[in-house]
């Protein structure tokens, strides 16, 4: 297993927890040159990339009218460009070998607009569409692709924006929330069973259907009223 992220200290700590041979490659996935170097670095380890998991992600928070252009574009690099870049670099060799799998992490937010996190919702919609198209392209190659679309997960995702999980939890029903280890297991099991879109939890699967089909004129004001990024202090 090869772990890639910006913070070497966290990667090393995680590697020590995992059993088996684990390599650590610190890299900033928002930087194109560091993404481009990864295939060579992986090969230098003597590792063949049979499974690619694009899990890196970040978000901006708040209204577009109050956004920071640099932060928005940085999020695009991590949430969108990095997924495309790494798939384009690793999938061709999988096809040549006739085996492999890609898991791209999207979100339940991929199924509709997300006021308060407009860029994040749009980025995850891109990841979902991109993965579904790639999955069809890979038919009969021995390589498969799946999109993981979790609901809210206890990871402290918004803490960098001053919004702890306990505050985020008030914006969404508690029964939608899940723990990361449970989501990871569902993802692996879903890939093994051949699913193309994996939505962990029955409640989130039901929510995703409403998210896709509820009229936007009813849905979007409801999301905006409850989103912590748009609530006035």
Contact 223, 114 (CB under 8 A): yes
Contact 102, 145 (CB under 8 A): yes
> What whole-number distance in Å separates Cα of residue 67 and Cα of residue 97?
44
- Report CA dihedral (129, 130, 132, 134) to the nearest 10 degrees: 160
Contacts of 113 (CB under 8 A, 6+ apart): 121, 122, 216, 220, 223
130 in catalytic set: no
**Residue 147: which H helix or E strand, with range?**
strand 143-148
Contact 53, 114 (CB under 8 A): no
CA distances from residue 83 to 69, 80, 227, 229 in whole angstroms, order as listed = 21, 5, 26, 25
Q: Which of 120, 130, 154, 211 is catalytic?
A: 120
The values of phi and psi at residue 38, to 5°, are: -65, -45
- Give catalytic residues, as residue numbers: 120
């Amino acid at each position: 297993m090869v772990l890639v992220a910006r913070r070497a200290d966290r990667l090393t700590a995680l590697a020590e927890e995992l059993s088996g041979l684990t390599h650590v490659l610190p890299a900033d996935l928002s930087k194109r040159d560091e993404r481009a170097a990864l295939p060579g670095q992986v090969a230098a380890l003597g590792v063949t990339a049979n499974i690619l998991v694009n899990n890196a992600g970040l978000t901006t928070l708040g209204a577009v009218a109050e956004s920071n252009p640099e932060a928005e574009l940085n999020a695009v690099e991590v949430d969108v460009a990095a997924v495309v870049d790494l798939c384009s670099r690793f999938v061709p060799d999988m096809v040549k070998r006739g085996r492999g799998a890609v898991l791209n992490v999207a979100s339940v937010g991929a199924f509709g607009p997300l006021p308060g996190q407009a860029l994040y919702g749009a980025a995850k919609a891109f990841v979902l569409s991109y993965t579904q198209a790639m999955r069809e392209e890979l038919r009969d190659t021995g390589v498969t692709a799946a999109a993981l679309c979790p609901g809210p997960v206890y990871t402290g995702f918004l803490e960098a924006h001053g919004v702890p999980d306990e505050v985020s939890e008030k914006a969404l029903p508690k029964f939608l929330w899940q723990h990361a280890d449970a989501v990871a297991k569902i993802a692996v099991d879903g890939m093994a069973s051949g699913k193309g879109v994996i939505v962990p939890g029955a409640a989130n699967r039901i929510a995703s259907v409403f998210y896709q089909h509820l009229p936007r004129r009813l849905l979007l004001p409801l999301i905006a009223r409850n989103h912590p990024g748009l609530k006035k202090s």
